[in-house]
Structure 1
Amino acid sequence: MNIVPEPLSGGSLLAQDYIGRFEQVSGFYGGNHRDERSWEQRVKWLDHSEGKRISRRALVDSLRSYNEKYNQHDAVHKSLDLLEQDGTLVITGGQQSGLFTGPMLVVHKAITIIQAAREAEKRLGRPVIPVFWIAGEDHDWDEVNHTHVLSADLEVTKIKIDGDEGSRTSVSFTPVEEGQWKQALDELQHLLQDSEFKPEIMNLLRQSAETSKGLSDAFAKLMGMLFGKYGLVLLDSADPCLRSLEAPVFERLIRQNESLGQSYQLAARDITGLGYELQADVPVNGANLFYLFDNKRLLLFRENGVFADRRGFVSMTEAELLAELAEHPERFSNNVLTRPLMQDSLLPVLGTVLGQGEISYWAITRYAFAEMGLEMPLILPRMSFTLIENTSHKYMEKYKLTFQDIYVNLEDKRQEWLSGQNGLDLDQRFRETKESFNQLYEPLLQDLSSVQPGLTKLGQSNKDRILAQMDFLLNKTKEALEQQHSASLRQWELLSHSIVPMGRPQERVYNIFYYLNRYGMSLLDDLMAIPYDDSGAHRAVYL
C-alpha cells in the first residue's frame, strides 16, 4: 500500500482557509489544533468545567444501554468504563446513518476519530476515547436512503430504499420493512462481483438488517461490526434515553433562545463581512430547534415570544414549550447550529472531527458557545482518501496520467489521446480549415451585398450551415475513432468511474463494502494503519 498526498479542489473558501491559512480565520474558532498551547488550554478548561456537563455516570449508563444493543465489544466496554472516570476526554465526530454505512467518507471519519483519540492519548498521557455521533435525529430521508457501487459492467449503480413521501420524521424513527431490506440486499448481492470474501460480506450485511427496524439500527450494527474492536463508542442523537438526559440543555436553549439567535446573526455578519459564504441558513428569529408533531419534524421560529413552525402546525409560548419539554423531551431535537452546543454539553470533547462543510458552518457557532458558557473544542479535519486499485494504477501508467489529471481534466486528456491515435490531430486541422474558410468567405459576403443587400443574410446563413457541417463531420470522425479504439476507451472509462465517479470524489459516492468485497475485511485494518494526519490533506491510497 502506497500513500501519496494529493490536493483536491472544492469545499468552501472558509474551510480551505481553516486548513491552509488558519491565521486568516482564527477568530472564527476557539483554538488551533496545530498549536500545543491550545491543546493544553482545552484540557485545562475541560477539567475545570466538569460541572457544566451532564453527569458522567448518567451519560455512560445511557451509552452502555445503547451500545449493548448494537455495539457489543470488550474494547467498547473498556472505553465506557474509562469515560465514567473523571479526567477521561473524548474525540468525537458524526454523520447521518446511511444505507450500508453510506459513502466511504463515513468510514474515513470513523477512522479519523479513532486515530485522533489514540494520538491525543499519547500526547496528553491521559485516557481519550473515540465517540461516533450518529445523527439519527435528521429527517432528510433522501440524503441517507441510498448508496452506490461499481457494477461488473463498469456502471455506477445506485441502491435505494424508498420511504413514505409524506413522512418527515427523524431517520431513526423511519421504519424499513423486511421486504425493503431484502430488495436492497438482493440488489447488492447481484451487483457485487463474486469473490472469496463475498459470502462473509453479505452475511454481515444481512445480520445488520435482519432485526433492524430502520436505517439507524442497521447503521449502528455495521459500525459496531467494523469499529467496535477499536473501542469506538456509538451514540444516536435520537435515542430517547439520551434525549431525556438532554432536557436541561434544551431548557437552556429555549430560555436563551433570543440571545443565542443574536449570537448566530452576529457571527453570520462577521463571516459574510469578510467575503465568505454561509454554509448553513441563519434566518432571523430562527429558534434552531426542531419539534416532532404528528410524525413531522418541524423547524421552529420565534416571533414575539411565540415558537411556531412556518406551516402553522404548532404554536406555543415559551412557557408552553418548556412544559412540553418536561413532559415529552423525545419530541425535541437540534439543528446544525445547536447540535455542537448539545454535543459539548454532554461530552468532555477535547476535539471534534469535521469535514470541510462542517468546518464552515461551525464558524457560525463562535459566539453561541460563549452564550452557553462553553468553549469551542479543537477542530480536527477529517482524513480524506481515494483508493486506487492496481488495475487503475496500471492504466494511469499506460496513459501517463497523474491523479490530478484524472481528478481535474480527465476528459481533456482523453480527447487529446484519442485525437493523436492516427496522427490526424483532428481538432487542430478542423480548426485551421474553418479559419481558412472564414478568411475566404468573409470578403465574398461583403461583395455580395453590392449585388443585392438580401444576399448578405442568405450568404451568412449558408456560411453557418457549412461550418455546422464541418462540426458534424468532426464529431462523426471522432465517433469512428472511438469505435476503433473502444477497448482502450473502456480503460479510460474505468479510470473515471473508479476514481471520480459521477465527477465527484470517490469517497463521496462509493460504499466501503464494494472494496471490502474485493479485498476482504483486512482492508479496514490496512486503512486503520495509515498514519494519522491532521493537516486536512487528501491522500491517494494505491492498493
Structure 2
Amino acid sequence: MATDQIPYSETNYYTKLILDYLEEKKDLQKFYNRFPKPENFKAQIEEKRQNYDHGIRKDLVEVLRKQYSDLKVTSAVSDNLDLLQSDKTFTVVTGHQLNLFTGPLYFLYKIVSTINLTVRLKKEYSEYDFVPVYWMATEDHDFEEINFFNLNGKKFKWNNADVRAGNAAVGSLSTSGLEDVFKLFAAEIGGGANADYLKELFEHAYLKHTNLTDATRYIANELFGEQGLVILAAGTPDLKKHFRDYIKNEFAEQSSHKYSSSTAGEFEELGYNVQVNPREINLFYLTDEFRERIIKQDDNFYVHGTEISCTRQELFGEVDKHPERFSPNVMMRPLYQEVILPNLCYIGGGGELAYWLELKEYFKSQKITFPMLLLRNSALLQSVKQDEKRRKLNISLSELFLKQHELINRKVRQISNINIDLSGQKEHLKEQFKNMYDLAEKTDPSFLGAVKAQEVKQLKGLDNLEKRLLRAQKRKLKDEVERIASLQNELFPNRGLQERQTNFSEYYAEYGQELIDTLLEELNPLDANFKIITFGKE
C-alpha cells in the first residue's frame, strides 16, 4: 500500500472560493474566525467554553443514550458519552444525508476526517477531550438525493418508497420496500468473507430497522463504533427546546436572511458564486406527514401547500409547546448545531463550506461562536495494477484528473513520431501578417479589414489541419488511446470524482477492513492535499 498526493488546485474539481479559502486569501478572511491550524484551536476552545451553554450537556447526553439504547455500544462510544458531560470536552462535527447504503465513498472520508482530527487535537491539547460527531440529516426531505447508490457501474434505486416521500422528512421514512434493493445488492456483491459481512451489515440495517434514521445509525455505528464516533439525530423536543429563542427570532426579525444576504452580495462582488440564497424565513413546519416552508404574509404565517395559518402569537405558542415541529433549513441548521453542541470545528465538502462561509455575520448577530471550517479529506483509490498501467502510459498523477479529451490529446502529441503541434507555424503566420498590416496602413487603411479576414482564414485552416492530423494519429495509435480511456474510466466513473460516484462496498468487498484501517491511517484532515491511495503490493 502506498499513498501519493497532489494539491487540490491540480485536480480541476474545486471552485475558486475553496481554493482561495485553502490559501487563506485576504479577501476571504472576514468570513471566518480562525483557519483550522493546530495552533488556532486553543483560542477556539476558550471562546466556545465561555460562549456555550453547558447546561445543555445533560439533555444532550440523555438524548444520545436513548438513541443508542438498541445498539451495541462500544467502550469508546460509551466513554465519549460520559466525556460529553464535562465542560472540558468539545466536539468536532461532520454532517451527512441518510444516503441509501451510505451513498458515495465520501461518506467514509467525512467521518474519518472527523475522527482523525479529534485524535490530533487530543495530542495537541491533552488537558481537554474531543469527541467526533456524525450529525444525521434526518429532517431533510429531498428523497431523490438519497434514494440510490452506484456499485460496479450500476445504479441501484429505491423505487418502492413511502408514498409520502415527496415531502416527508427522510429520517422518518419506513424501510418497507428495501427488501428488493437488498436482494439486488446481495446478488451484485457476490460471495467471500468481505461480501458476506456487507450483506449482513445492510440486511440488519434495512430489514431489521423500521425507519431510515435507525438504519443509518446502525451502519455508522458498526463501521466506526470502535473509533468512538457519536451519532446524533437532533430533531428531538429535548434538544429543540434549546433553540426556541432562535426560532422566534427568525420569525420576528428574519435575521438569517438579513445577515446572510449581505454576505452573499459581498461574495458576488468578489467574483465568487453564491452557494445558497436564503429565504425570508429559513424554517419548515415538520410533521409525520410533511415538511413544508413557513411563509409570512402581512402579520400572519402560513405553511406552504397546506391550509395551516396562524398569527404571530399563536405561532410563538406552538414554538413553546412543540419546538420539534420547527425544522431549520440549510441556512439555520448550522446555528442549531452550534447552539446545542460544544463544537469547535465543522468538517464538510466544498459545497458545504461555501454556504457556511455565508453565515458568520448571522452567527455574530445571534451571539453564537462561529466554528472553524475544515475541508474534508478527498482521495482516489486504485490498485497496484491500475497504478502500473498509469506508469506504463506515462501519465502523471495530475494528468489523471484532466478531462478525457484533454488527456488523450496531450498523450497522443507526446507519443507521436511526427510533430502535430502547429503552434510554431501559427506564430510564424502571425508575424508575416504583421508586415501585411504595416503595408496596408501605409498604402490604404481600408485594406486592414481584408488583411484581418485573410489572417483569420489561414489560421483557421491551420487549426483544421492540426485537428485532422490529431484525428489521424488517434486512429494510428488506437490501442494507446483505448488504454488511456479505459484506465481513466475505471478511476473516474461517469467522468467524475470516484468519491462522488462509487459506493464504498465496491472496495470493501475487495479489501475488507483494510479499507477503513488504511483511511484512518492515511487521511490527515489538516493536510490540504488530494490523496491517491494504492492498495496491494508491488
Output the TM-score relative to the length of structure 1: 0.82
1:195 and 1:518 in contact (8 A); partners too? no
> Partner residue of 2:158?
161
> Partner residue of 2:241?
247
Within 2, Cα distance between the matches of 1:233 and 1:505?
A: 28
Within 2, Cα distance between the matches of 1:409 and 1:255?
A: 48
Distance of aligned partners of 1:497 and 1:217 in 2 relative to their CA distance in 1, 3 Å threshold: farther
Within 1, Cα distance between the matches of 2:106 and 2:307?
A: 37
SS of 1:364's partner is: coil
1:350 is aligned to 2:344: yes
1:10 is aligned to 2:13: yes
> Partner residue of 2:198?
201
| Corresponding letter in the other structure for 2:156 | I
| Corresponding letter in the other structure for 2:77 | V
Within 2, Cα distance between the matches of 1:298 and 1:54?
A: 31
1:68-89 C-alpha deviation (Å, 9 max, x unpaired)? 3346222111100011122111
1:12 and 1:360 in contact (8 A); partners too? no
Match of 2:362 among 368, 376, 379: 368
1:292 is aligned to 2:286: yes
Match of 2:262 among 252, 261, 266: 266
Within 2, Cα distance between the matches of 1:421 and 1:192?
A: 39
1:536: how far off?
A: 3.2
| Corresponding letter in the other structure for 1:116 | L
> Partner residue of 1:406?
400
Q: How does 1:393-472 map to 2 (within 5 A)?
A: 393-414=387-408
| Corresponding letter in the other structure for 2:16 | L
1:54 and 1:346 in contact (8 A); partners too? no
1:351-379 C-alpha deviation (Å, 9 max, x unpaired)? 11121111110122111112221110111
Show structure 2 runs of 5+ residues with no match: 427-464
Within 2, Cα distance between the matches of 1:202 and 1:343?
A: 33
Distance of aligned partners of 1:275 and 1:96 in 2 relative to their CA distance in 1, 3 Å threshold: same
SS of 1:510's partner is: coil
| Corresponding letter in the other structure for 1:262 | K
Match of 1:537 among 522, 529, 538: 529
1:324: how far off?
A: 2.0
Within 1, Cα distance between the matches of 2:348 and 2:413?
A: 43
Q: How does 1:41-80 map to 2 (within 5 A)?
A: 41-51=43-53, 55-70=56-71, 72-80=73-81
Q: How does 1:32-43 map to 2 (within 5 A)?
A: 32-34=35-37, 36=39, 38-43=40-45
Within 1, Cα distance between the matches of 2:220 and 2:133?
A: 12
1:72-115 C-alpha deviation (Å, 9 max, x unpaired)? 22211110001112211111111101111111111100001100
SS of 1:375's partner is: coil
> Partner residue of 1:175?
174
Match of 1:389 among 380, 383, 395: 383
1:349: how far off?
A: 0.4
> Partner residue of 1:444?
none
1:266: how far off?
A: 2.2
| Corresponding letter in the other structure for 2:142 | D
Match of 1:212 among 209, 213, 216: 209
Within 2, Cα distance between the matches of 1:165 and 1:365?
A: 32
SS of 1:175's partner is: coil
Within 1, Cα distance between the matches of 2:241 and 2:324?
A: 9
1:137-175 C-alpha deviation (Å, 9 max, x unpaired)? 10111111111122xxxxx21111123376311110122
Question: Which has the higher mean CA deviation after the structures are superposed, 119-128 or 18-27?
Answer: 18-27
SS of 1:25's partner is: helix
Within 2, Cα distance between the matches of 1:528 and 1:76?
A: 17
1:245: how far off?
A: 2.2
SS of 2:196's partner is: helix
Match of 2:334 among 319, 340, 350: 340
1:291 and 1:300 in contact (8 A); partners too? yes
> Partner residue of 1:439?
none
Output the TM-score relative to the length of structure 2: 0.83
| Corresponding letter in the other structure for 1:301 | I
1:30-80 C-alpha deviation (Å, 9 max, x unpaired)? 2222272x42222112222243x5521111010111123346222111100
Show structure 1 runs of 5+ residues with no match: 151-155, 433-469
1:363-422 C-alpha deviation (Å, 9 max, x unpaired)? 221111122211101112211111111221121112111232221133343356679999
Distance of aligned partners of 1:199 and 1:166 in 2 relative to their CA distance in 1, 3 Å threshold: closer
> Partner residue of 1:454?
none
Distance of aligned partners of 1:22 and 1:478 in 2 relative to their CA distance in 1, 3 Å threshold: closer
C-alpha RMSD of matched pairs (Å) = 3.1
Overall identity of the aligned pairs, in %: 24
2:142 and 2:170 in contact (8 A); partners too? yes
2:38 and 2:124 in contact (8 A); partners too? no
2:136 and 2:231 in contact (8 A); partners too? yes
| Corresponding letter in the other structure for 2:145 | E
Within 1, Cα distance between the matches of 2:132 and 2:150?
A: 28
Q: How does 1:313-328 map to 2 (within 5 A)?
A: 313-328=307-322
> Partner residue of 2:495?
503
2:165 and 2:173 in contact (8 A); partners too? no
Distance of aligned partners of 1:489 and 1:510 in 2 relative to their CA distance in 1, 3 Å threshold: same
